[in-house]
């Protein structure tokens, strides 16, 4: 049993027209799309670089500063454990920040471009 709607009378199926290659290129070269890319990059690149630096710092400290990383903070909790858990916390924080950023700044711009392309097709 299929859930597809039956074809319209006359037996031919009508599909919405797809945007052309030229319309994709036109949108890609538009100022609006450039602004969308800038908005994305201004958020993603700095956070990516910061996280990589933070991760490399953790790895380098683990390899070359064993005494520091082994410093007990309280009980059996040492600096290495706290910084290691900080890696997970940072990952989740960045994901949450990106989802907020995308919902507030990227998605509305992308939806406007998509709607216009689908309407022009």
**Domain ranges across the chain:** 30-120
3-class DSSP state of 107? helix
What integer best gives the mean pLDDT of the chain? Answer: 87
> How far is Cα 23 from Cα 20, in angstroms, rounded to an integer?
5
Q: Give the pLDDT of residue 117.
A: 84
Q: Give the pLDDT of residue 16.
A: 63
> How far is Cα 30 from Cα 112, in angstroms, rounded to an integer?
13
Q: What is the pTM of this model?
A: 0.72
Q: Give the pLDDT of residue 115.
A: 87
């Amino acid at each position: 049993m299929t859930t597809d709607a039956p074809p319209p009378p006359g037996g031919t199926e009508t599909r919405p027209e797809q945007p052309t290659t030229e319309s994709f290129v036109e949108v890609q070269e538009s100022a609006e799309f450039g602004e969308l890319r800038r908005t994305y990059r201004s958020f993603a690149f700095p956070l990516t670089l910061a996280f990589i630096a933070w991760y490399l710092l953790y790895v380098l400290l683990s390899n070359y500063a064993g005494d520091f990383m082994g410093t007990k903070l309280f009980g059996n909790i040492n600096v290495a454990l706290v910084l290691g858990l900080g890696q997970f916390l940072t990952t989740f924080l960045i994901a949450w920040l990106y989802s907020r950023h995308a919902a507030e700044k990227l998605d509305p711009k992308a939806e406007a471009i998509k709607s216009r392309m689908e309407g022009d097709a």
